[in-house]
Amino acid sequence: MSDTPLNRAASATPPSVARKIRGLSDRAIAWIFVGPTIFLLLAINIFPLIWTINLSFTNFRANRPNREVEYVGLRNYERILNDSDIWLNMQATAHFLFWTIFFQVLIGFTLAYLINKKFKGNDLWTTIIVLPMMLSPAVVGNFWKFLYQPQIGLFNYIVAFFTGKEPSSFEMLGSVDLAPWSIVIVDTWMWTPFVMLICLAGLRSIPDYIYEAAEVDRASKLRQFFTITIPMILPFLMLAVLFRGIENFKMFDLVVQLTGRGPGSTTELTSINLKREAFEKWRTGYASAYAIILFVTVFGLASIYVKALNKVKER
Amino acid sequence: MRNFVSGLLCLRRGPWEIVATVLIALGVFMLMQPFVMWAFTYSFITTLVGTVMFIIVSHFPE
């Protein structure tokens, strides 16, 4: 027998263990390998989900664990779905989701298209553009708080330069009309590079010979863009929208650091409201029902989206 | 239209998935729209029915 690492490991296995392993079927060995992962998945994902569904029908409060838990049926769901404040939070989340995804896709794709052209300093610019997404959301939140300062903030001065207004005449974080846009701007600034990177990967995966064939057929640049570039990059764009959509639906840290859900509750997204219900008011049963509503919404949307993505890929 | 209805009656995946997708999209719109409160109230049940339906009908034959 040759002295390979595999043979050395085999000869080091005690004969009793070796006999047991030799007696197992391939299926049993496969289960031994997959078993721990399935166990972890059940323990970390599936069990908490089922437990949350169970809690959503109770009046359980995590700060009073010894109190008797009562089953309240669908009362938690009923209260949430008739609460006008939660309805407003949903609208704030919808505004945030729609505009961040719109701007990130638009700017991200444009940047990727430009970066994909060969020019001097191409790599340096890619690195600089990607920097914001490497920062911690807490840092970005604090950093933009200073930029939005009406007296000393750079953002106000730049807007004032272009519009001719007084820099201190408007307050991005303090105004009911402007605060929802302030979080959209910061999230766009931070996560556009992510969309850009996905689009760049898509653009670089398009083979040159397709464009060369189009050139031979005398297709204009605009026609090439709409009939080659856009259809071939569509699965990548859809993937970016899926990732950003799910992430922004759960957005918490950045907004808490930046506006602290204010002014009033204008920028109180659903995840912030959920955290308050669960860990400030300690209404665990109610918060569980709230979490289930959000989960079903994201799950439903993601299901149809993945289906659409697969259809686009099959084309 | 006739194909769609016969697909529904024969329990085919395609048309049923369209119904489930429309329900999910409608439910999400109802959840986040700023117009009427009753739509918000019934949004969850619409999305839930759509999602459960989507999971079931994705196992139907083509």
Predicted confidence (pLDDT) per residue in A131-142, tens digit: 999 999 999 999
Query: Would you give the DSSP letter of residue A281?
Result: S
Residues of B near A (Cβ–Cβ under 8 Å) read 17, 20-21, 24-25, 27-28, 31-34, 37, 40-44, 47-48, 50-51, 54-55, 58
Is residue B26 assigned to a domain?
Answer: yes
Residue A62 sits at φ, ψ, to 5 deg, of -70, -20
Q: For residue A232, what are the domain limits?
A: 77-314
Is A69 inside a domain boundary?
Answer: no
Over residues A257-279, the mean pLDDT reads: 91
The answer on A143 and A10 residing in a single domain is: no
Tokens of A201: 């990967």
Q: Tell me: do A274 and A155 sit in the same domain.
A: yes
Q: Mean pLDDT, to the nearest integer, of A8-17?
A: 76
Q: With pLDDT > 70 as the criterion, what percentage of chain A qualifies?
A: 98
pLDDT value at residue A281? 93
Evaluate whether A109 touches A195 at the Cβ level (below 8 Å). Answer: yes
Q: How confident is the model at residue A216 (pLDDT cuts 50, 70, 90)?
A: very high
In total, how many domains does chain B have? 1
Which has the minimum average pLDDT: A36-50, A255-269, A284-298? A255-269
Q: Are residues A42 and A166 in the same domain?
A: no
Q: Which amino acid is at A49?
A: L
Candidates B52, B57, B53; CA nearest to B12 is: B57
User: Given this model, what pLDDT does residue A134 score?
Assistant: 92
In chain A, % of residues over pLDDT 90: 67
A146 contacts: CB under 8 Å, gap ≥ 6: A152, A153
Residues A48, A100: one domain?
Answer: no
| pLDDT > 60? residue A263 | yes
Residue A252 has phi, psi (to 5 degrees) of: -140, -65
The pLDDT assigned to B34 comes to 92
**What average pLDDT does range A183-212 have in this prediction?**
94
Q: Please check the confidence at residue A6 and state whether its pLDDT lies above 80.
A: no
SS3 A229: helix
Residue A289 has pLDDT above 80, yes or no: yes
Full-model pTM? 0.85
Count CB-CB contacts under 10 A for residue A148: 23
Within-domain flag for A68: no
pLDDT of residue A10: 73
Residue A203 pLDDT greater than 70, yes or no: yes
| Position A70 in a domain | no
- Element of type H or E holding A297: helix A284-314
Q: How far, in Å, CA of A167 to CA of A206, rounded?
A: 46
The residue ranges of chain B whose pLDDT is under 70 are: none
Looking at the structure, do residues A236 and A287 belong to the same domain, yes or no?
yes
Residue A181, pLDDT score = 95
How far apart, in Å, are the Cα atoms of A301 and each of A68, A184, A243, A256, B24? 37, 21, 12, 25, 7
A301: in domain = yes
Beta bridge partners of A71: A58
Q: How many domains does chain A contain in total?
A: 2
Closest Cα in chain A to B33: A91
**What's the longest Cα–Cα distance across chain A?**
85
> What's the average model confidence in pLDDT over A237-243?
90
Name every residue in A having a CB less than 8 A away from some CB of B: 77, 81-82, 84, 87, 90-91, 93-94, 293, 296-297, 299-301, 303-304, 307
What integer best gives the mean pLDDT of chain A?
90
User: Which segment of A226-235, A283-292, A299-308 scores lowest on mean pLDDT?
Assistant: A299-308
Q: Which are the contacts of A181, defined by CB distance < 8 A and separation ≥ 6? A: A99, A172
Rounded (5°) CA angle B21-B27-B32: 130
Q: Please compute, for residue A17, the number of CA atoms within 13 A of its CA located in the half-sphere on the CB side.
A: 6
The answer to whether residues A205 and A106 belong to one domain is yes
Same domain, yes or no: A147 and A26: no
Chain A hits for B21, Cβ within 8 Å: 304, 307
CB of B43 closer than 8 Å to CB of B31: yes
pLDDT of residue B40: 95
The answer to whether A52 and A288 have CB atoms below 8 angstroms apart is yes
SS3 A282: coil
Domain membership of residue A125 (yes or no) is: yes
Same domain assignment for residues A161 and A302 = yes
Among chain A residues, CA nearest to B21: A304
A67 assigned to some structural domain: no
pLDDT at residue A2, rounded to an integer: 64
* Least confidently predicted of A207-211, A268-272, B14-18: B14-18
Residue A4 confidence (pLDDT): 77
Q: Which residues of chain A make contact with B31, given a CB cutoff of 8 A? A: 90, 297
Count of Cβ atoms closer than 10 Å to residue A164 Cβ: 7
| Chain-centroid distance, C-alpha A169 | 34
**What is the reported pLDDT for A107?**
96
Where residue A114 falls among pLDDT bands split at 50, 70, 90?
Answer: very high
> A292 and A180, same structural domain?
yes
> Do A153 and A233 fall within a single domain?
yes
Q: Identify the band that residue A277 occupies on the pLDDT scale cut at 50, 70 and 90.
A: very high
Q: Which amino acid is at A152?
A: I
Domain co-membership, A174 together with A264: yes
Decide if B11 is inside a domain: yes
**pLDDT (tens digit per residue) in A26-75:** 888 889 999 999 999 999 999 999 999 999 999 999 999 888 889 999 99
Tokens (6 digits) for A64: 């009073």
For residues B56 and A196, what is the distance between their CA atoms, to the nearest angstrom? 36
Question: Taking 70 as the threshold, does the pLDDT of residue A249 lie above it?
Answer: yes
Domain around B14? 2-57
- Give Cα B10 to chain centroid, integer Å: 17
Instruction: Note the Cα A39 to chain centre separation in Å.
Output: 26
Q: Is B45 within a domain?
A: yes
Shortest Cα distance, chain A CAs vs residue B6, angstroms: 22
Q: Assess if residue A258 is contained within a domain.
A: yes
pLDDT (0 to 100) of residue A1: 54
| pLDDT at residue B2 in the model | 80
**With contact defined as beta carbons under 8 Å apart, do A148 and A186 qualify?**
no
Which stretch of A79-83, A190-194, A236-240 has the lowest confidence by average pLDDT? A236-240
Separation between Cα atoms, residue B24 and residue A286, nearest integer Å: 23
Q: What number is the ipTM of this complex?
A: 0.92
Tell me whether residue A38 is in a domain: yes
Of B57, B11, B32, B41, which Cα lies nearest the Cα of A82? B41
Once rounded to an integer, what is the mean pLDDT over residues A188-192?
Answer: 95
B62 located within any domain: no
